[in-house]
Chains A and B, each alone.
Chain A
Amino acid sequence: MLGFVLRRLGFAVITLFAVLTLVFFVIRILPGDPTLVILGDQASAQSIALLRERMGLDQPVWLQYLQFLGGALRGDWGTSLVSGRPVIQEVLNVLPHTLELTFVALVLGVVLGLPAGIWAAVNRNRIPDYVTRIVSLLGLSAPAFVSGIVLLLVFSIMLRWFPVISGGQGTTLLDRARDLALPAINLALIMAAYVTRVTRSSMLEVLSQDYVRTAMAKGAPARAVVWRHALRNCLIPVVTVVGLYLGILIGNSVLTEIVFNRPGLGKLIVGALNQRDYTMLQGMMVIYTLIVVLVNLLTDLVYGFIDPRVQYK
């Protein structure tokens, strides 16, 4: 077990290192001198030289690379070109909003998707199966901004049940919940679609196993067979996939935050793109890498705990 954990940890570190290296060189290819972006076209040669020195751009590339790596690991990601505040501070300010949204959507998605998938599997090729298949395919076909706009049109603009702008600033719990509801539902529906499909196919696979047939043959009630014997085994692929789709969820949270005008990493990255805030973009790449690597590591470890066979690989 320890060897397995260490191997996964090693892979996570290698991934992090590889992506950080990539980010460093990617930022160097970006068109335009960052000092010109900060100071504008009218800047004098002296002030440019001064700023280059201050930003460390006059040093050899390998030294810049080491400083970048050290800084990234220590949490020193430079200062935003637009606001002048430390990038890490800006990121940490909005990170809770994104995490809150993603976490609630994840839980909601599993709560909706798991029973739906099981329901479809036990009713294979009957009406519940067809309905869940079509609905889940619709869910995973809809880009997050499309489902978000439809939800916004129906529930905020036509029915006026929810605020048009989900500020996420509510002080009372009820306010927060109202702000969170539509964006979370939007993300959760996509998550539920994926979970439903994986649960269904995994359950079908398990239900065709010999031990399920034996349980049925000895006269165990179908309900008990599904929930007690089959469910635990069908969860293994579901967990992997939930981890895998957490990444998709993070991607979709960008679109959701824009549609519902909710603070978070998504709005931050779009703002940085529009204002050509390169240091901020660099910080965003680092934070997304960190999140993705962490999520994958956790998924691998959970997978190892659920499925004892993994250890022997």
Chain B
Amino acid sequence: MSEPATTAAPRQRNEFLLVTGNALRFAGRAVTGHPTTLVGTIVFVTIVVLALLAPIIAPYDPVAQSIVNRLQGPSWAHWLGTDYYGRDILSRLLHGARYSLVIGIASISLAVVVGSLIGLVAGYFGGRIDIVIMQAMDVVLAFPALILGIILVAVLGASVTNIIIAIAFTAVPAFARIARAPVMALREREFVQAGRALGFSDLRIMFRHILPNIIPEIIVMASLWMATAVRTEASLAFIGLGIAPPTPTWGGMVREGFENILDSYSVALFPSLAVLVLVLALNLIGDGLRDAIDPKLGSAS
């Protein structure tokens, strides 16, 4: 556990803007200071742009079947080849990126909000509340994200919303923990005690004075967990717990391609590499941000 980001501790009121500015400056330093982070950011932004433009730039309809063109290797007409139903793999990859990104971003946003709230409450009030909450978090955290994801999606049913909820659930304890530790340390700091002496309410102290201080750490954690979220979503789809076909998802494409892997390698290989590249980019960003917050570790994990 790294030190709380005391460098970002606000001294005046209106801390939020100040600290958000600090967090942005951290991010800026991380991106420009480390070449690997820069690469990660460029790759991630590229994938986001391609996903946004998918309906415009995709050469084919991602669900249009063409039996005569099935299982073709890469060619000028189909840059990455076609799948078992003759659908263009590149077009399906571009559209599939949207689901990976939406599920990754939405699930982690949900986990950040819920997890940080839980951690704030546990850390701020301490005592018995803290023990009960954190024990419950430990129970959830004990489970591998994938196993928990399989169980939850199997129970809830595989829809976009349910997959988002399931993945968010696996990440909540991580954010509760990351929010709790600095809160416990900050609780005793002068600016919080000053706030209490001035008669501010618990809620006001928590949200206006403590929350901004833990934002940098939460951002780091969010980028690393988004990598896990994207990986979990793809893995679930590969197992058969993804959004129902013919909707193109990367994990689902790998699943379909894997069934015909002896006839054509490209159907399984390209979406596999797409997942790898996106997860790697997110991990590179997260690593760089962590170094920026905690420079003494020098990219230690």
Complex contact A145–B143 (CB within 8 A)? no
Does B246 reach chain A (CB closer than 8 Å)?
Answer: no
Q: Does A250 contact B (CB under 8 A)?
A: yes
Which of B150, B154, B272, B283 is the one whose CB lies under 8 Å from A145? Answer: B272
Q: Which of B135, B145, B239, B251 is packed against the most chain A CB atoms within 10 Å?
A: B239
- Whether B298 lies near A125 (C-beta < 8 A) is yes
Could you mark each residue 232-258 of chain B with 1 if its beta carbon is under 8 Å from any beta carbon of chain A, else 0? 001100111100000000010010001
**B261 at interface, CB cutoff 8 A:** yes
| B273 with A281: CB separation less than 8 A | no
Contact: B142 with A254, CB < 8 Å?
no
Docked CA distance A147–B151 (Å)? 24
Interchain CB contact under 8 A, B297 and A254: no
Contact A250 B154, beta carbon cutoff 8 Å: no
Residues B151 and A26 in contact, CB atoms below 8 Å apart: yes
Residues of chain A within 8 A (CB-CB) of B199 are none
Q: Across the interface, which residues of B come within 8 angstroms of A153, CB to CB?
A: 261, 265, 268-269
Flag whether B220 is at the interface (Cβ < 8 A): no
A157 partner, pick from B139, B155, B265, B299, beta carbons under 8 A: B265
> A29 CA to B151 CA in the complex, in Å?
13
Asked if B201 is at the interface of the complex by the 8 Å CB criterion, the answer is no
Main secondary structure of the interface of A (DSSP, over half): helix
B147 cross-chain contacts in A, Cβ below 8 A: 247, 250-251, 254, 288, 292
> Chain B: how many interface residues by the 8 Å CB criterion?
46
Nearest chain A CB to B40 CB, angstrom units: 10
Q: Does A273 lie within 8 Å of B238, measured CB to CB?
A: no
Chain A neighbourhood of B287, CB < 8 A: 137
Q: Is B145 a contact of A251 with CB atoms below 8 Å?
A: yes
Q: B147 CB to closest chain A CB, in angstroms?
A: 5
Residue contact B241 to A273, C-beta cutoff 8 Å: yes
Q: Which of A124, A138, A140 contacts B298 (CB 8 A)?
A: A124
Number of interface residues of A (CB under 8 A): 53
Q: A194 to nearest B CB, angstroms?
A: 9
Check A149–B268 contact: CB distance below 8 A: yes
A-B contact pairs, 24 of them (CB 8 A): A11-B135, A14-B135, A137-B284, A141-B227, A141-B231, A141-B279, A144-B235, A145-B238, A145-B272, A146-B272, A146-B273, A149-B269, A149-B272, A200-B301, A204-B297, A248-B144, A250-B147, A255-B235, A258-B239, A273-B239, A273-B240, A288-B143, A292-B142, A293-B142
- A interface residues with partner B (beta carbon < 8 Å): 11, 14-15, 18-19, 26, 29-31, 124-125, 133-134, 137-138, 140-146, 149-150, 152-153, 157, 164, 197-198, 200-201, 204-205, 247-248, 250-252, 254-255, 258-259, 269-270, 273-274, 281, 285, 288, 292-293, 296
Q: Closest 3 A-B residue pairs measured CB to CB?
A: A201-B300, A251-B144, A251-B146
